[in-house]
Chain A
């Protein structure tokens, strides 16, 4: 029932997180 594990990496300037942040 547990949620699947996920890997965390340092935020990258060209990563999706940065791109999404620019949109919001």
Chain B
């Protein structure tokens, strides 16, 4: 058992292992939204946590209140100075996050099996992980910051490339019947996931 004592946070990896099954689609949307919310706030405050290139489900933390944060990898922290400079770009973090979320949806499936995802969620992951088939006009680049003059409404209607945490959040919000409900709704989904997992954890600890 990796987990001991009462906890305020569970990693996505803990959750997958405890249930021994994949997360559901609603949880995937919620973790994406909440995690990108955290990351965009971190960036806005100008105090980015150092983030190595390859993230894992162990670094995604779900908190009791439904917040989702991204923890830096422990071992690399000793290398302080160097890591600050080698931290990932926003698109790289989004790509890693998309891959982690896909793997959480795919958890426990055999190599020759594939889960049928709803088209909007598959599209979100495709965009996040940057695996969308190029259709000619797709010139995204890691360092390219062509933000500038984008029409807000147009962007909301169809996002063909994700460049920021805010883009991910917009897509997650657009998935809901009422977009303005997104923060409350997704927080509640994550809070429930945490609570249910803790319940299961407590139960399993007792019978052990």
Please list the residues of chain A having a beta carbon within 8 angstroms of any beta carbon in chain B: 1, 3-4, 6-12, 15-17, 19-20, 22-24
**Given A16-B126, A19-B131, A23-B99: A7 in contact with B116 (beta carbons within 8 A):** yes
Interface of B is mostly: mixed
Give the size category of B's interface with A: 20 to 34
Q: Which B residue's beta carbon lies closest to that of A1?
A: B196
In this complex, what residue of B is CB-closest to A12? B114
Query: Which residue on chain A has the smallest CB distance to residue B130?
Result: A23
Q: Which residue of A16, A23, A24 is within 8 Å of B122 (Cβ)? A: A16
B122, A8: Cβ atoms under 8 Å? no
Question: Which of B24, B125, B130 meets A6, CB within 8 Å?
Answer: B24
| Minimum Cβ distance to chain A for residue B113 (Å) | 5
B interface residues, Cβ below 8 angstroms from A: 19, 21-26, 95, 99, 102-103, 106, 109, 111-117, 122, 125-126, 129-131, 196
A20 x B103 contact (CB < 8 A): yes
Residue of A at shortest CB range from B117?
A16
Across-interface contacts of B99 in A (CB, < 8 A): 20, 23-24
Tell whether, in the assembled complex, residue A8 and residue B113 are in contact, meaning their CB atoms are under 8 Å apart: yes
Give min CB distance, A13 to chain B, whole Å: 10
Chain A residues positioned under 8 Å from B130 (CB to CB):
23
B117 & A8 in contact (Cβ 8 Å cutoff)? no
- Give, as a whole number of angstroms, the nearest-CB distance from A21 to chain B: 9
* A15 to B6 Cα, complex, angstroms: 40
Residues of A with C-beta under 8 A to B26: 4
Give the distance to chain B from A1, nearest Cβ to Cβ, in Å: 6
Among A1, A4, A9, the residue within 8 A (CB) of B113 is A9
A–B pairs, 16, beta carbons within 8 Å: A6-B25, A8-B113, A8-B116, A9-B113, A11-B111, A11-B113, A12-B114, A15-B114, A16-B102, A16-B114, A16-B125, A16-B126, A16-B131, A17-B102, A20-B125, A23-B130
Contact at B131–A10, with CB atoms within 8 Å? no
